[in-house]
């Protein structure tokens, strides 16, 4: 019996979809045939996502919850070199697509746990936790893949999730009274943001925007708070680290005020 491998193309232009459709029609054999999904929500064996399209990435982050076993291919003008998924460069070329079709007969491309573990281990918030606690946190988290210049959240947004940077870079910023953007910092792999709003349940204190394509590990408040209740040692470690960070931020603020008030 011939096995049918379904390929879903999310956010790709029509010319790319035509190329994929033509290659699929030629790639079949007596044992295996290929078909392009009829719409972006049809469950598929292989999913090719336009990682440069914000709406496509939003669709993908929802779609992957429904189809966790699909093989994932991220197509971008700036490929995610450190991504745990297969990454190819756009515009698509036929030779890339021929190689992708081989995924249909293989197990899913799964984000290695080690990559997530190393990112958490490097972070200020989780570096003191035991390997067992880190693995528990990884089990609670979800991966978000975002394009360049994507607004992750804005000032005053509800804060229900903290995020760990797995790959890429993003900026944290606020606007001054004149509306001019002030960049508070640039974050890279292993760094955490959004943890304060997630812990206290209040609004975001700044805006986060990707500077490059990014993969983030998201940890939701509804999952993390029960984890802390069940693991008091981890909770104590986190309080100690957060207190240290608050102290460092206070010292930095004092320095900034001193510089601003210094006579000229």
| Residue 24: band (very low, low, confident or very high) from pLDDT cuts 50, 70, 90 | confident
Q: 68 and 124 share a domain?
A: no
| Residue 263: band (very low, low, confident or very high) from pLDDT cuts 50, 70, 90 | low
Q: 118 and 203 share a domain?
A: yes
> What is the domain range of residue 71?
3-105
| Residue 66: band (very low, low, confident or very high) from pLDDT cuts 50, 70, 90 | confident
Please state which of the ranges 52-56, 111-115, 120-124, 160-164 shows the lowest mean pLDDT. Answer: 111-115
Q: 56 and 7 share a domain?
A: yes
Query: Mean pLDDT in the chain?
Result: 82
| Residue 220: band (very low, low, confident or very high) from pLDDT cuts 50, 70, 90 | very high
- Share of residues in the chain with pLDDT > 90 (%): 17
What would the DSSP string read from start to end of the chain?
-PEEEEEEEES--HHHHHHHHHHHHHH--SSEEEEE-SSTTS--SEEEEETT-HHHHHHHHHHHHH-TTSEEEEEESS--TT-SSEEEESSP-HHHHHHHHGGGGS------HHHHHHHHHHSTTTTTS-HHHHHHHHHH-EEEEE-TT-EEE-TT-B--EEEEEEES-EEEEEE-TTS-EEEEEEE-TT-EESHHHHHH--B-SSEEEESS-EEEEEEEHHHHHHHHHH-HHHHHHHHHHHHHHHHHHHHHHHHHHHHHHS--
Answer with the one of 72, 105, 138 that is the final residue of a domain: 105
Residue 95 has pLDDT above 70, yes or no: no
Q: 130 and 254 share a domain?
A: yes
Q: 45 and 123 share a domain?
A: no
Q: What is the number of structural domains in the chain?
A: 2
């Amino acid at each position: 019996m011939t096995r049918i491998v379904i390929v879903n193309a999310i956010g790709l232009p029509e010319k790319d979809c035509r190329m994929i459709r033509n290659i699929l029609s030629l790639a079949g054999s007596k044992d295996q045939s290929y078909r392009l999904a009829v719409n972006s929500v049809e469950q598929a064996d292989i999913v090719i996502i336009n990682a440069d399209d914000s709406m496509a990435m939003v669709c993908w982050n929802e779609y992957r919850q429904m189809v966790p076993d699909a093989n994932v291919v991220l197509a971008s003008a700036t490929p995610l070199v450190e991504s745990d998924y297969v990454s190819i460069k756009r515009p698509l070329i036929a030779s890339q697509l021929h190689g992708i079709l081989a995924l249909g007969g293989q197990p899913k491309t799964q984000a290695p746990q080690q990559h997530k573990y190393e990112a958490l281990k490097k972070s200020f918030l989780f570096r003191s936790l035991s390997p067992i606690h880190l693995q528990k946190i990884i089990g609670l988290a979800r991966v978000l893949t975002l394009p360049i210049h994507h607004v992750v959240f804005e000032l005053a947004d509800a804060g229900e999730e903290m995020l760990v940077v797995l790959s890429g870079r993003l900026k944290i910023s606020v606007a001054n009274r004149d509306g001019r953007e002030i960049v508070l910092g640039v974050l890279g792999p292993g760094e955490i943001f959004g943890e304060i709003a997630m812990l206290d349940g209040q609004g975001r204190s700044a805006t986060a925007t990707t500077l490059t394509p990014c993969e983030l590990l998201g940890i939701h408040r509804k999952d993390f708070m029960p984890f802390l209740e069940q693991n008091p040692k981890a909770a104590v470690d986190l309080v100690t680290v957060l207190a240290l960070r608050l102290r460092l931020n206070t010292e930095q603020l004092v320095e900034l005020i001193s510089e601003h008030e210094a006579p000229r």
